[in-house]
Amino acid sequence: MADLTTNFIGITSPNPFWLASAPPTDKEYNVRRAFEAGWGGVVWKTLGEAGPPVVNVNGPRYGAIYGADRRLLGLNNIELITDRPLEVNLKEMRRVKRDWPDRALIASLMVPVNEDAWREILQRVEDTGCDGVELNFGCPHGMSERGMGSAVGQVPEYVGQVAYWCKKHSNLPVIVKLTPNITDIRKPAQAAKEGGADAVSLINTINSITSVDLDLFAPEPTIDGQGAHGGYCGPAVKPIALNMVAEIARDPATAGLPISGIGGVTTWRDAAEFMALGAGNVQVCTAAMTYGFKIVQEMISGLSQYMDDKGFTSVDQLVGRAVPNVVNWKDLNLNYVTKAKINQDDCINCGRCYAACEDTSHQAIAMSEDRVFTVKDDECVACNLCVNVCPIEGCITMERMAAGMVDPRTGEVVREEYANWTTHPNNPGRCAAE
Amino acid sequence: MRDRQLAPGIVAGRIDAAALQGNFTDLHPPLDDHEALVAADRCYFCHDAPCITACPTSIDIPLFIRQIATGTPEAAAKTILSQNILGGMCARVCPTETLCEEACVREAAEGQPVLIGRLQRYATDRLMDKGVHPFRRAAPTGRRVAVVGAGPAGLACAHRLAMKGHDVTLYDGRAKPGGLNEFGIAAYKSTDSFAAREVDWLMQIGGITLATGQRLGREIVLDQLRQDHDAVFLGIGLGGVNALGLAGEDREGMRDAVDFISELRQADDLSRLPVGRDVVVIGGGMTAVDAAVQAKLLGALNVTLVYRRGRDRMNASRYEQDLAASKGVRIVTNATPIAVHGNGAVREVEFEYSDDDLRPTGERFRLAADQVFKAIGQTLEGADLPALDGRKIAVSDRGRTSLPGVWAGGDCAAGGDDLTVTAVAEGRDAAEDIHATLMAEG
Ligand SMILES: Cc1cc2nc3c(=O)[nH]c(=O)nc-3n(C[C@H](O)[C@H](O)[C@H](O)COP(=O)(O)OP(=O)(O)OC[C@H]3O[C@@H](n4cnc5c(N)ncnc54)[C@H](O)[C@@H]3O)c2cc1C
Ligand SMILES: Cc1cc2nc3c(=O)[nH]c(=O)nc-3n(C[C@H](O)[C@H](O)[C@H](O)COP(=O)(O)O)c2cc1C
Ligand code: SF4
């Protein structure tokens, strides 16, 4: 079994699987059970200022999107930060950290944008013995209406400013948690780095309305006939999160800035993908809320098996490995020619590939009288749609045409050498080929 | 061909080799990757899952299914085997319809449980096909343990003890290890020499010396074993069979079902194995069903299984009964054998219908029979054994017997169902207790 020990900005944990700041980490009882189940660390549910805590709605706070077989794919919430008194949370954090010294315990914080407020809360959390702080600039509902959460995260200057205050008033490692509700994720990441933050974590939840009650004419979750937009998370947001992580990892201005990857991590594979794109560890919320703490066991066994198979002896060897392969469109090799191929032994003759290609793509699949489906190489543009809609994994594959063969669609010989758009004859702004 | 099938008496080659081969392939063919993913996708990853509770070895079923779903069947296999080292065989032979799959919440929801048994086979096959043994033996402790009986109970016990670093000698009276996995389980459940392959794979742990042809009460005696070892585990199964107690029981053609099955399991060429044209099986358990089905698959024309009580009292599960029926076995219930007719060889068995309390009704009938298999239960054999509880060795919940330093488990021990998986659980748990005891002794 590969060693999964992770060192993230100086914080070690037995594995890279942390629970994200959310209900699973809202109290001592949960966190102790999470550690017993094997989680490497937790980011405690976001703490606010001292004084009367925030209040949550008393009606439903979650909405969901399902896939086939009622598999939960996306979750939306209108919950606020912790609604328990600061003092209680701090006491519990201290106790838990004392009993679980080998696990990471991070305090998530959200207070108004003023230096005193941050200085004050930092001093109080330092006393707990926690390993670091995460600044919650991400919550997109409720708190943002009060000038906090994503209202901060959407203004890079504020992000940098608060990160700066935190480094100034505390020795703890500082992670800035970013909101995805922004056009260019690189800007707040750059600001965090410039402010002195040790790392960024992303993504927090995405503004969303999961569904509308068509009798009440109100968004769900519905509270007394009305609803508010909430934060979307779970498997459905993973692609958005992966891209944002990759954008930061490959931006020269932030390259090398440690990233904690969040958003839809459900299996070891999701985690490995985030890590390959540059995340030093991952945080999980919805998967734990859907299946319970025990899922971490699959993440641990799966990642170690994968690392053993790859010959990796430490998670560092995985982190960032895919980053160099994330490029811009213009850099993609236009001489890479593939054709879809249907494996007739695996095909169950459902015809979904045919419907997709015939109705919406390039009319490149033929259907015989007896329902045999075959690809017409002279029409196939290799869009991949048939692969995506086929219910049998691996039945339709994309096969590369070897150099020297003639692409029956274009009538052109497939070229060996790499060539991209920047040198393509159709590109009016092309650079001269060498 | 037809005339061979009609030939009276007990003859070989009733059906051709191709048909035979088809008949004796896997009852449940292995799942391919796609089937496994679809099946795994149905698991809800229940909390404190009822299937785990229903498994005598408490395999973490939701976890292993999730590991299959996420493309790591090898990790899944390790989850299975850490609880049940014979997880491969159990995946093939467990009556899942009365164990894990009966408890599956999707059985309650849709009457269609997750295919736990077949997913278990998918995972364990994958690991074993790679030749990987996922456990390592701890540093040797210098303790010596005798395990008597190399069936599921003895094998599970020996493996767990060896893993803990003890030196195990595994004795068996037969020439081959495996117990009923090798000699008893229906051929279509354990194809392709799986029992033998599994034992070889299990032995890779190291620290187990196999001593075959060593029968307790013949080559070896319990007292001596106790003197020579730090602990003894008895997993000797049920070596004897119950008799009908009828006149004519020794007529030619009358046979114990377990002998027939054992011969079948060891046959290299099934087309040379003789079987009757009209076969009658007496009994209502797994052995009776297996004998009846396999007689039918060998080409017997008429196979009738006769059980003395009602259908719901049969030990064979409803699933097994339906399997028998689907293969063409006729099941007659509430009938007790009262006479074996024939001159030298059996020609007919006479039965009398009885009610559920076995009270005779006076209504009688005869079944033509050139071969009769008796399957009315196996019994413990052997002298100088620890104290009995009824007809089996009395044990505590950790397998301790009345004799200090002697543990027992599996079919020979009282309590628990006579199932492969129960034998594994009892062997494993006794090993844990032996280990704890030996280590506490310092
Ligand atoms: C025909 C048949 C079909 C079955 N089908 C199924 C099934 O489909 N599913 C299922 O779960 N269960 C089934 N069972 C039950 C299952 O096989 C047993 O419960 C299980 O094998 C018990 O394991 P064991 O280790 O206790 O005993 P056994 O498997 O009987 O092994 C005992 C071992 O001890 C050896 N031995 C016996 N006496 C001595 C001695 N004096 N000295 C040395 N060695 C000795 C034997 O040679 C044997 O190797 C079936 C049983 C039979 C008879
Ligand atoms: C109910 C709920 C409450 C949350 N509360 C917080 C919070 O207090 N602070 C925070 O930083 N993120 C909060 N989040 C966001 C999660 O920490 C996480 O960033 C997000 O859910 C994406 O990860 P996931 O797809 O694994 O759920 C919350 C999410 C949910 C579902
Ligand atoms: S999950 Fe628990 S707290 Fe939430 S609605 Fe259900 S019972 Fe109530």
Return the CATH superfamily for domain B144-239+380-441. FAD/NAD(P)-binding domain (3.50.50.60)
User: For chain B, what is the mean pLDDT?
Assistant: 96
The residue among A325, A355, A374 that closes a domain is A325
Instruction: Quote the CA–CA distance of B345 and B370 in Å, as a whole number.
Output: 7
Which CATH number belongs to the domain containing residue A219 in this structure?
3.20.20.70
The residue to mutate among B188, B286, B412, having the most atoms of ligand 1 within 8 angstroms of its beta carbon, is B286
In angstroms, the separation between the Cα of residue B46 and the nearest Cα of chain A is 8
Per-residue model confidence (pLDDT) at position A147: 85
Q: CB distance from A294 to chain B under 8 Å?
A: yes
What residues of chain A, 206 to 265, have a C-beta less than 8 Å from chain B?
A: none
Closest approach of chain B CAs to the CA of A370, in angstroms? 24
Q: Measure B180 CA to ligand 1 centroid, in angstroms.
A: 4
CA angle, residues A371, A377, A380, in degrees to nearest 5: 90
Task: Out of A139, A233, A347, A357, pick the active-site residue.
Answer: A139
- Cβ distance B72 to A268 less than 8 Å, yes or no, reads yes
In this structure, what CATH number is given to the domain that contains residue A403?
Answer: 3.30.70.20
Q: Whole-angstrom Cα distance, residue B347 to residue B252?
A: 10
Chain B residue numbers touching A70 (CB-CB < 8 A): none
Residue A335 in any domain: the answer is yes
Give the closest ligand to the alpha carbon of residue A177: 2
Which portions of chain A are predicted below pLDDT 70? 432-434
Residue A148 and residue A52 in one domain? yes
B423 CA to middle of ligand 1, Å?
8
How many other C-beta atoms are found inside a 10 Å radius of the C-beta of residue B312?
8
Query: Which value does ipTM take for this structure?
Result: 0.91
CB of A265 within 8 A of CB of A283? yes
Please check whether residue B354 is in contact with residue B333, taking contact to mean a CB–CB distance below 8 angstroms: no
Pairwise CA distance, residues A263 & A340, whole Å: 32
Which of A325, A347, A379 is the last residue before a domain boundary? A325
Q: Give kind and range of the element (H or E) at residue B11.
A: strand B10-11
Interatomic CA distance for residues B206 and B192, integer angstroms: 24
Interface contact flag, B71 A302, Cβ < 8 Å: yes
- If contacts are CB pairs under 8 Å, which of residues 29-68 in chain B contact chain A? 33-34, 37, 41-42, 45, 47, 62-63, 66-67
Q: Give me chain A's average pLDDT, please.
A: 96
CATH of B33-129, one of 3.40.50.170, 3.30.70.1290, 1.10.1060.10, 3.30.420.10: 1.10.1060.10
Q: Nearest C-alpha of chain B: how many angstroms from A293?
A: 10
Out of B47, B63, B70, whose CB is closest to A267?
A: B70
Catalytic residue status for A139: yes
**Predicted local confidence at residue B190, as pLDDT:** 93
By percentage, how much of chain B surpasses pLDDT 90?
A: 96
A32 and A47 inside one domain: yes
| Cis omega (within 30 of 0) for bond into A112 | no
- Average pLDDT score over residue span B189-209: 97
Q: What are the E-state strand segments in B114-261?
A: 144-148, 167-172, 208-212, 231-234, 240-241, 254-256
Within an 8 Å CB–CB cutoff, is residue A69 touching chain B?
yes
CA B107 – ligand 2 centroid, Å: 34
Dihedral sign, Cα of residue B55, residue B57, residue B58, residue B64 = negative
Residues A343 and A274 reside in one and the same domain = no
How far is the C-alpha of A365 from the C-alpha of B36, rounded, in Å? 28
pLDDT tens-place string over residues A123-165:
999 999 999 999 999 888 888 888 888 888 999 999 999 999 9
Q: What is the pLDDT of residue B304?
A: 98
Ligand 1 atom index nearest CA of B418:
19
Q: How far apart are CA B401 and CA B376, in angstroms?
A: 27
**Contact between B156 and B86 (Cβ < 8 Å):** yes
Question: Are the beta carbons of A69 and B78 separated by less than 8 Å?
Answer: no
Residues A290, A210 share a domain? yes
Is there a shared CATH topology between the B2-25+241-376 domain and the B144-239+380-441 domain?
Answer: yes
Residue A398 in contact with residue A380, Cβ under 8 Å? no
Nearest CA in chain A to B38: A392
CB pairs under 8 A between A and B: 45
> Cβ separation of B45 and A292 shorter than 8 Å?
yes
Instruction: Based on the fold, state whether residues A271 and A392 are members of the same structural domain.
Output: no
d(CA A32, CA B175) in angstroms, rounded, equals 54
Nearest by CB: B66 against A69, A298, A393: A298
On whether the CB atoms of residues B358 and B265 are closer than 8 A, the answer is no
Establish if A44 belongs to a structural domain: yes
Digit-coded pLDDT (tens) for A287-301: 999 999 999 999 999
- Residue that is written with structure tokens 């019994």 in the block: B379
- In this structure, the answer to whether residues A165 and A253 fall within a common structural domain is yes
Q: Does B79 reach chain A within 8 Å, measured CB to CB?
A: yes
Hey, where are the domains in chain B?
2-25+241-376, 33-129, 144-239+380-441
Q: Tell whether domain B2-25+241-376 is in CATH 3.40.50.300.
A: no
Name the pTM for this structure: 0.94
Interface test with B, best of A301, A308, A310, A393 (most B CBs within 10 A): A301
| Separation CA A181–CA A204 (nearest Å) | 9
CA-CA distance, A336 to A402, in Å (whole number)? 9
Residues of chain A in contact with residue B37, where contact means CB-CB under 8 angstroms, are: 393
- Are B40 and B68 a contacting pair, CB within 8 Å? yes
pLDDT of residue A138: 83
Q: Which atom of ligand 2 is nearest to the CA of A62?
A: 1
Supply the residue whose CA is at minimum distance from atom 14 of ligand 2.
A22
Residue A16, both tokens: 């890279």
Cβ of B423 less than 6 Å from ligand 1? yes
Q: Give the end of a domain, one of A299, A325, A351.
A: A325
CA distance to partner chain B, nearest, from residue A291 (Å): 7
**Is A203 among the domain residues?**
yes
Residue A1 belongs to a domain: no
Sign of the dihedral defined by the CA atoms of residues A388, A390, A393, A399, in that order: negative
Residue A123 backbone phi and psi in degrees, to 5: -60, -40
Centroid of ligand 2 to alpha carbon of A231 (angstroms)? 8
Task: Give which of B421, B179, B121, B75 is closest to A309, Cα–Cα.
Answer: B75
Domain that holds residue A400: 329-431
Domain membership flag for residue A34? yes
Residue of B41, B72, B106 to mutate, interface with A, max A Cβ within 10 Å: B72
- pLDDT for A397-429, tens place per residue? 999 999 999 999 999 999 999 999 999 999 998
b/e per residue A24-62 (b: at least 16 CB within 10 A): bbbbbebbeebbeebbbbbbbbbbbbeeebbeeeeeebb
What stretches of A131-185 adopt beta strand conformation (E)?
A: 132-136, 174-177
Average pLDDT over residues B325-352: 96
Same domain for A397 and A312 = no
pLDDT score at B247: 87
Q: Is the pLDDT of residue B111 over 80?
A: yes
Ligand nearest to the CA of B213: 1
Q: What is the reported pLDDT for A145?
A: 85
- A17 vs A38: CA distance, rounded Å: 9
pLDDT (average), residues B297-309 = 97
A144-153, A391-400, B16-25, B347-356: least confidently modelled range: A144-153
Domains identified in chain A, total number: 2
